[in-house]
């Protein structure tokens, strides 16, 4: 057996995951190129076997935020939908920028960012006796990771929309902020807001 492949030929997947629940669902299988060509599509729970870097790429391939944020709906006019190779190149540029600025392994910073931006509580609507009210609930481990990935991708799309900053630069900035648990990070703010609303609904 030879050495494990490095992401983009440069970055190791030998990283630490401090959150014990996320450790169960974070797939860090060493790959050189995060692209499985939809091998896991339409299979139940198969996303747990997809490398987390590829899952972030998949989250970036969306038509926009899908809802109003900051008073406007952000759309990318399909510029990234289905363009996996283009998104993987954007990820590579973002990781190179992270490494150039921090001199740290960008895969480790991505894992740290996911740990700090994965909410633990959310709310659901409960109907009892004809009356609806909100109830705080714990979030499943897989959904915690899904929300963290989605918020990181949404933050990058929002920052790069109608802005001189490239999507790669916006993604690198968001990952670096979230990895430090910085409140300037959109993903961290969304996590704190979700948990605050859940606490009030206990």
Whether residue 195 contacts residue 184, with contact meaning beta carbons closer than 8 Å, is answered with no
- Work out the mean pLDDT of the chain and round it to a whole number: 87
For the chain, the distance separating the N- and C-terminal CA atoms, rounded to the nearest angstrom, is 52
Contacts of 33 (CB under 8 A, 6+ apart): 8, 88
Q: Express each pLDDT in 180-196 by its tens digit.
A: 999 999 999 999 999 99
**What mean pLDDT do residues 128-156 have?**
90
55 vs 27: CA distance, rounded Å: 10
Does residue 165 have a pLDDT over 90?
A: no
137 vs 9: CA distance, rounded Å: 42
Q: Express each pLDDT in 52-102 by its tens digit.
A: 999 999 988 875 555 555 555 565 556 777 888 999 999 999 999 999 999
Q: Express each pLDDT in 41-66 by its tens digit.
A: 888 888 888 999 999 999 888 755 55
Query: Residue 125: enclosing H or E segment and its boundaries?
Result: strand 121-128
Structure tokens at 191: 């996590």
18 vs 144: CA distance, rounded Å: 15
Whether residue 38 contacts residue 61, with contact meaning beta carbons closer than 8 Å, is answered with no
Whether residue 133 contacts residue 59, with contact meaning beta carbons closer than 8 Å, is answered with no
Which domains are seen in the chain, by residue range? Answer: 22-200 (1.10.455.10)
How many residues can be counted in the chain? 202
pTM flag (> 0.85): yes
């Amino acid at each position: 057996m030879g050495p494990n492949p490095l992401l983009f030929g440069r970055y190791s997947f030998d990283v630490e995951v401090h959150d014990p629940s996320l450790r169960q669902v974070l797939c860090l299988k060493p790959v050189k190129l995060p692209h499985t060509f939809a091998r896991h599509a339409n299979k139940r729970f198969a996303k747990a076997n997809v490398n987390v870097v590829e899952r972030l790429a998949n989250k970036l391939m969306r038509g926009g935020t899908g809802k109003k944020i900051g008073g406007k709906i952000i759309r990318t006019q399909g510029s990234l939908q289905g363009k996996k190779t283009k998104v993987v190149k954007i990820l590579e540029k973002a990781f190179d920028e992270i490494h150039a600025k921090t001199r740290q392994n960008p895969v480790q910073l991505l894992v740290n960012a996911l740990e700090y931006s994965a909410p633990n509580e959310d709310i659901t609507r409960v109907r009892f006796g004809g009356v609806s009210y909100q109830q705080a609930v714990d979030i499943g481990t897989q959904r915690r990771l899904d929300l963290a990935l989605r918020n990181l991708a949404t933050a990058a799309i929002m920052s790069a929309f109608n802005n001189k900053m490239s999507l790669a630069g916006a993604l690198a900035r968001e990952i670096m902020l979230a990895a430090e648990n910085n409140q300037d990070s959109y993903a961290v703010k969304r996590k704190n807001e979700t948990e605050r609303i859940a606490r009030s609904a206990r």
